Chains A and B, each alone.
Chain A
Amino acid sequence: MREITYRQALNEALAEEMDRDPSVFLMGEDIAIYGGAYGVTAGLMQRFGEERVRDTAISEAAIIGAGLGAAITGLRPVVEIMYVDFMGICLEQVNNQVAKIRYMFGGKTRVPLVIRTEGGAGRTLGAHHSQSLEAWFLHIPGLKVVMPSTPADAKGLLKSAIREENPILFIEHKMLYNTKGPVPEGEYLVPIGRAEVKRPGRDVTIVAHSRMLLFALEAAERLAGEGIEAEVIDPRTLLPLDIETIAASVRRTHRAVLVEEGTRTGGTGAEIGLQIMEHCFDYLDAPIRRIAGADVPMPKSPVLEKLTIPDPDRIYREVRELLA
C-alpha cells in the first residue's frame, strides 16, 4: 500500500468530501491563501475557490458561531481553530451553542459541523501553543471528540466526521503531520465511536491516543523483546468512548495502563480509568496506572518540555514496574 503523511491524508479527506458534496465548505484563519498554519488545507482554495475555502479574520467565536449557523441551515462546514489552545476564546460557542442546540430545541435540528484543530507539545512553543486539552471537551454532552493517531485513521475519520449529523471536535497533533503510514487508495471511512486494537497482546492493555499511541507502540515493541506482550488500543474517539473494546481487552490482560499527553489531573485517564473499573473491576490484577503530562503550564525549555509529557521510555519503564 502507498504511504502518505498524516497531513496529506487529511488534505485528501477534505478534497474528496468537497468533491463529493457541494455543501461542504471550509472556513478558518489562514486556511486559504496560506493553506493552513500546518499546511493541511494547502491547494484547496486554488482547487475549490474562495467561496468554499474561506480565510476569516482572527475571530474564533464568530468562526464557531458562523459554522453552527451554516450547519443548521443546510451546509456542512469544516471550520479550523488554529491551535486547540485558542479554544478558550470560543468555548462558549462550542459548549452552549454547538453542543446543545439540538437538545435545547427538542431535536428539531441537526448540526453537521466539524471543528478541526490541533494540539500537543514537541515544538517548544510554550504554554499557549502546546497543550492537549481534549479532556475539557469530554464534559460536553452533544459533542463528539475525535483524535486520530495514524494517517489512515486521520483520513477515514475526517471523512466520517464530515458526513456525521453531529458536531465533531477533530483534534490533530502537530507532531504527527509529517508522520507517514499506509493509506488505501480508494474510498473508505473509519467509523466514529470505535476504538481499534493497534497491537494485540496478552499481558497488559495500554490505552493511548493521538501521538501517545505511537509512543505506546514503540514501548510495546521494546517490551516484546523482553517477552512482555502489551495490547495497545487507540480509542480514536474519546467521546463517546468505545469502552467495550477497551474493557474486553482488560478482561483478558487483567492490567491497564492509560497514556495521555495532557495534564494528569482531571485528564482522559481519569475518565477512562474509572470506566474500566466500572466495567471490569473483578478482572483487574493490579491498580490501573496513569501515565500523563505533568500538571504544569507547558514550559519553553526543550529539556523541560520533554520532561512534561510521557515518552516511550517512560511507558516502557512503568509497564515493567507494573508487571514486576
Chain B
Amino acid sequence: MKKINKSEARFLLKQMMEIRKFEEAVMDLLARGIADGGSHLYAGEEAVAVGAMAAIRTDDYITSTHRGHGHAIAKGGSLPHLMAEILGKQTGVCKGKGGSLHLADVSQGNLGANGVVGGSLGIAAGAGLSIRLRATDQVVLCFFGDGATNTGLFHEALNMTGRWSLPVIFICENNLYGMSVSVERACAVTDLTQKAVPYRMPAECLDGMDVLAVREAVARRVAAARKGGGPAFLVANTYRYYGHSRSDPRVYRTREEEKNWKDRDCIEQFAARLVKAGILTQAEVDECDRETAAAIAAAVEFAIQSPDPAPEELYRDVYYEAEEGSIYA
C-alpha cells in the first residue's frame, strides 16, 4: 500500500463506489419501471475500469463495450448526464439517442460503448494508427470481454496493431461468461493471454478485483506504449455480480461461485486495505460512501426531471451539416 497517497486512495475508492451505486440505481430504476431498454451492469468489475483509467491522461482514448457504464464514468463522464442518457433524456451525454448500450461521452475521449461484442476493436486500432500518424504520445485502452476474443475482428485488429506496433493496450475483462456460455465452453484455449501470442505483443494476467494491481499493470504498459513500445494485452480476471442483463436467471453459474467472488469484492477489499494501512480511517471510508450515495441520488433526480428529446431531434445528427458555408463555396 505504500504506493498510494490519501487523495489518490479517496479518488479510486469513491469512483468504484460511484460505479457500484450507479449500477444499483439503474437496477432500481428498471425495477420501478422508470428506466427501460437493455442494461448490462458493470457491478463487480469496477476495479478494472477505475484502475485502468487512473493510469492514463484525459487526452488518451478508450473504446468500451456493451457493459460500458463503468468505463464511461471512469473516463470522466458526468454522473447526472450519464444517468440522463440511461433514461433517454435530452440532457443525456448522447442527447438520449444512445442509451445504456451506447453510453459514452465521445468528447471525453471515450470512442464509444458498443452494442456489438468485439465491435470496437477496429476502432481502437484506428485510433492507435491515428496517434502514430499524428506523432503524439497518446495511447488507447481497448476494453472488451472474454466473449469478444472469439470474434473475427478481434484477431484482425490484434494482427493490425501488432504488425504496426500501435500504442493500444488491449484489456480483456474476463468475467468468465459471454452471456451464458463460459470460457471453458466457448474457447479452444482457455488461457486468454495465449490469444495475444501470435500477434507479437506481451500479455499478462492480473487480478481484476484489485484496483491497484490493475493500475500498476496498465501504467507500466502505457509508459512503454508512449515510448513507442507498441501494444500489450492484459487479461483482468473479474466477475459481474448481476446476470448478463436484467432478464438473466443465471442458470449457468452457481450461487456458491457468486459468493466466492463477492467475498473478494473490489470495493470492500480496497477499503479494508486502506483502513488497515492507515491511509484512510473507517470514518473517512463511510464519508466516501455517503458522498457517493448523495451524488448518485442527485444524478437520478436530475435524470428523472430532465426533459425528453424534442421531436425535431429525430433527424438531427444523422449527418454532419456545416453551420456556415460549404466545401463547394
Contacts and interface: CB of A to CB of B under 8 A. Distances in A.
Contacts of A191: 328
Nearest to A67: B126
Interface string B110-137: 0110111001111111111111111000
A64 B123 CA distance: 8
A318 B156 CA distance: 48
A69 B128 contact: yes
B95 A106 contact: yes
Contacts of B156: 57, 59, 61-62, 65
Interface string B297-329: 000000000000000000011111010000110
A61 B157 CA distance: 8
Give chain B's interface residue range (CB within 8 Å of chain A).
Answer: 35 or more
Contacts of B322: 165
A163 B130 CA distance: 17
A301 interface: no
Nearest to B109: A73
Contacts of A61: 122, 152-153, 156
B262 interface: no
A72 B163 contact: no
Contacts of A66: 122-123, 125-126, 129, 157, 160
A69 B121 CA distance: 9
Contacts, number: 155
A70 interface: yes
Contacts of A163: 327
Give chain A's interface residue range (CB within 8 Å of chain B).
Answer: 35 or more
A41 B153 CA distance: 26
Contacts of A160: 327-328
A51 interface: yes
A96 B115 contact: yes
B94 interface: yes
Contacts of B63: 69
B51 interface: no
Residue among B115, B120, B319 having the largest count of chain A Cβ atoms under 10 Å: B319
Interface string B85-100: 0000000111111100
Contact of A107 (B95, B124, B129): B95
Interface of B: 61, 63, 92-98, 102, 104-107, 111-112, 114-116, 119-134, 152-153, 156-157, 159-160, 163, 316-320, 322, 327-328
13 contacts: A27-B129, A51-B132, A66-B123, A66-B129, A70-B130, A96-B119, A97-B114, A104-B97, A105-B104, A106-B93, A160-B327, A163-B327, A166-B319
